[in-house]
Amino acid sequence: MDGVSSATRRSRDFDESTSTSELVNEAKKNAGIKEAPLLIRGDDKTLDEILHERHGMSLAEAASGAVHGFEVAHAAFGHMVEVKGLALGLEAVALPVAAWTLGQYAMYEMQKKKDDTKNAAARDQMHAAVVRFVDIPESSRQEALAHLNVSTTAQSPNQKILNAIVGDAKMQSILQHHCDEGMNAARSTFDARRDPADALKTDVALKARYDADVAFKTGFDAMVRAKKSDPHAYDEALGKLDARNPRNQQSVQVRG
């Protein structure tokens, strides 16, 4: 892992407009993880969710490939084709072409699944680093980590990314700021006596930020969980939120 001074030099251009994804990718780089940068968003599906969706889809995919193969044969050969002077019906060529097409489709899907699962696993680690770093109610943190279902051992990628974040004061400040904005947005919905789920449905700007920003979503969800299941933790989080930045006392307005 790079030293703190090196990480600090690279972070000089960061400001509050720097996205959470950019910051975490920089932390991943500083941690010595050589994988290519990955865009992370609040609405990323976890690896578990992707694997669950994949379960039982193979027959549907095979049927889709077979149908596509038949359509290719029909378009290419018409109802009748001539092979070595013999007039053959579509069925004589459609099945071989469909089989070939299905094979190509299956290879493409296998590679795509491999890439999807690899990237999802990497994103889970990046999400976990954010969840573990930001100051949110502990019960909410543990619930979010359980959803990600990743190891948090000393050698885990998320721990290495977390170490890099902790080694960069500016990165820490901006990530927490993004999280605080999400926490404050959740508070605003409660102050307005609105259900957060309804706010996300009706406020386009709020939903866009929630879907795009991991830290914002983490803060928003954490406050919603705490408000519903641990009011004391919610109140404590509000106090810490306001102590970090007095501007937080002016709630983010959530439109109806």
Mean pLDDT confidence for 182-186: 97
Give the pair of three-digit tokens for residue 80: 């009748």
pLDDT band (50, 70, 90) for residue 92:
low
Residues 41 and 141 in one domain: yes
Inside any domain, residue 220: yes
What range defines the domain where residue 115 resides? 47-120
Q: Which of 242, 212, 239 is nearest to 226 (CA)?
A: 239
pLDDT, the chain, mean: 80
- CA dist 220 and 210 (Å) reads 8
Domain count, the chain: 2
Residues 178 and 216 in one domain: yes
Buried b (16+ CB within 10 A) or exposed e, 48-71: eebeeeeeeeeeeeeeebbeebbe
The share of the chain scoring above pLDDT 90, in percent, equals: 61
Mean pLDDT confidence for 35-53: 93
Inside any domain, residue 245: yes
pLDDT band (50, 70, 90) for residue 247:
low
Which of 62, 93, 120 represents a domain boundary (last residue)? 120
20 near 123, Cβ under 8 Å? no
Within the chain, residue ranges assigned H as helices are: 4-10, 20-30, 47-54, 58-77, 90-133, 138-148, 157-166, 169-191, 196-202, 204-212, 214-229, 231-244
Looking at residue 55, its pLDDT comes to 74
pLDDT in tens, 132-159: 999 999 999 999 999 999 999 999 999 9
DSSP class of residue 252 equals P
Mean pLDDT confidence for 63-72: 45
Looking at residue 111, its pLDDT comes to 55
Residues 145 and 245 in one domain: yes
40 near 214, Cβ under 8 Å? yes
Task: Output 61 or 201, whichever has higher pLDDT.
Answer: 201
Task: Output 66 or 149, whichever has higher pLDDT.
Answer: 149
Residue 150 CB partners (closer than 8 Å, separation 6+)? 124, 125, 128, 156, 158
Residues 31 and 81 in one domain: no
Looking at residue 74, its pLDDT comes to 45
Residues 241 and 172 in one domain: yes
Looking at residue 109, its pLDDT comes to 55
